[in-house]
């Protein structure tokens, strides 16, 4: 019997989001609010909101923000016993830069950050073997020892027959060069059963401007069973052997911050599958377009609601709002 529905490996960090501008004699400066985040953390916190059992494998610094992050994730319903505390380095910080539409870019304080110091333990390997779904991204592939730990975690999941979900969450400032990042994303594609990727990441991965050809390459060249492509206000696309199509976005007028929306979308999709089915593989093998459209439409709405609040974990809505 599986003890955990979803186990994610990766970053738990603080997003400093601009809340307002303060005028000074030197010009306008943003007023920043510290908000809990990190893509894998946003995802498992979302799944916990749906009532699933979740765990995060990650690392924070032995500092104020590290303690606050672990406490926040625990309060969100996520098992935090597999979060390591690192004395030598500081908890990773991300600085969110928002444009007038609420779309964001990032700068990072991570040279190195605690999340890159992750060493996979035997206990954590055992946790991965007993989960229904293992999730990872590329931020844990930028530096050692987290990169080797991620490689090992993926191998453990594969050996145990665990469903593997991958979301690149490409952040250009954290990579030494584009080719290293592209190589890591393609490796993630090659290791995974399901992939959630935004349109820009997909184009970047295949160094192309043609979404259709990129989707075909992803399906034909990798042993992937489920593909979810998000494209902001243009909605989401899905593909499996049994179904494929497009679902319109749920657009709201009061969007202020899209940070974490993709993670919340993915967490919602995975949660609704695992609530309805014994396994994701069963859903992929049997679900019709109607089923996928229902789940993805609800997840588009769930993610859209999250954009009306600032931050990642702090913006996750209650499922009762669906």
Q: What is the per-residue pLDDT across 156-180, written as a single tens digit (0 to 9) for each? A: 999 999 999 999 999 999 999 999 9
Mean pLDDT value across residues 25-40: 88
Please answer whether residues 12 and 61 qualify as being in contact, where contact means their C-beta atoms are separated by less than 8 angstroms: no
Contact between residue 214 and residue 189 where contact means Cβ atoms under 8 Å apart: no
Percent of the chain residues past pLDDT 70, beyond the cut: 97
pLDDT the model gives residue 103: 65
How much is the mean pLDDT over the chain?
A: 93
pLDDT at 102 over 70: no
Q: Which pLDDT score is estimated for 104? A: 64
pLDDT at 29: 80
Ordered by where they begin, the domains of the chain are 4-23+30-317 (3.40.1190.20)
User: In this model, does residue 128 exceed pLDDT 80?
Assistant: yes
pTM over 0.85: yes
Is residue 253 predicted with pLDDT exceeding 90? no
In terms of DSSP bridges, do strands 226-230 and 236-240 run parallel, antiparallel, or are they unpaired?
antiparallel
Tell me the pLDDT band of 100, cut-offs 50, 70 and 90: low
Angle ∠(43,73,233) on CA atoms, nearest 5: 30
Quote the pLDDT of residue 25. Answer: 82
Beta bridge partners, 23, equal 28
What's the average model confidence in pLDDT over 43-58? 98
Confidence of residue 23 (pLDDT cuts 50, 70, 90): confident
- Indicate the pLDDT class of residue 35, thresholds 50, 70 and 90: very high
């Amino acid at each position: 019997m599986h003890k955990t529905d979803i186990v994610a490996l990766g970053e738990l960090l603080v997003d400093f989001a601009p809340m307002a501008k303060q005028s000074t004699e030197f010009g306008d400066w943003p007023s920043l609010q510290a908000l809990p985040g990190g893509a894998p953390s946003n995802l498992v916190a979302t799944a916990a909101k749906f009532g699933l059992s979740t765990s995060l494998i990650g690392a924070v610094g032995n500092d104020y923000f590290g303690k606050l992050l672990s406490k926040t994730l625990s309060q969100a319903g996520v098992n935090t016993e597999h979060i390591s505390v690192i004395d030598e380095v500081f908890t990773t910080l991300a600085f969110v830069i928002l444009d007038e539409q609420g779309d964001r870019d990032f700068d990072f304080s991570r040279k190195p950050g605690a999340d890159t110091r992750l060493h996979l333990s035997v206990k954590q390997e055992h946790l991965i073997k007993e989960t229904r779904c293992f999730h990872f991204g590329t931020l844990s592939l930028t530096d050692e020892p987290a990169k080797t730990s991620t490689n090992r975690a993926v191998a453990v999941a594969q050996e145990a027959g665990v469903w593997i979900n991958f979301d690149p969450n490409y952040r250009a400032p954290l990579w030494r060069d584009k080719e290293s990042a592209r190589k890591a994303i393609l490796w993630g594609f090659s290791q995974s059963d399901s992939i959630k990727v935004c349109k820009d990441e997909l184009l970047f991965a295949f160094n192309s401007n043609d979404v259709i050809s990129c989707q075909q390459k992803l399906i034909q060249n990798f042993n992937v069973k489920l593909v979810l492509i998000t494209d902001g206000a243009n909605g989401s696309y899905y593909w499996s052997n049994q179904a494929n199509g497009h679902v319109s976005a749920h657009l709201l007028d009061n969007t202020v911050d899209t940070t974490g929306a993709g993670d919340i979308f993915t967490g919602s999709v995975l949660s609704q599958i695992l609530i309805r089915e014994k396994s994701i593989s069963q859903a992929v093998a049997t679900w019709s377009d109607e089923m996928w459209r229902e789940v993805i439409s609800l997840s588009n709405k769930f993610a859209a609601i999250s954009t009306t609040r600032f931050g990642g974990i702090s913006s996750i809505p209650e499922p009762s709002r669906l």
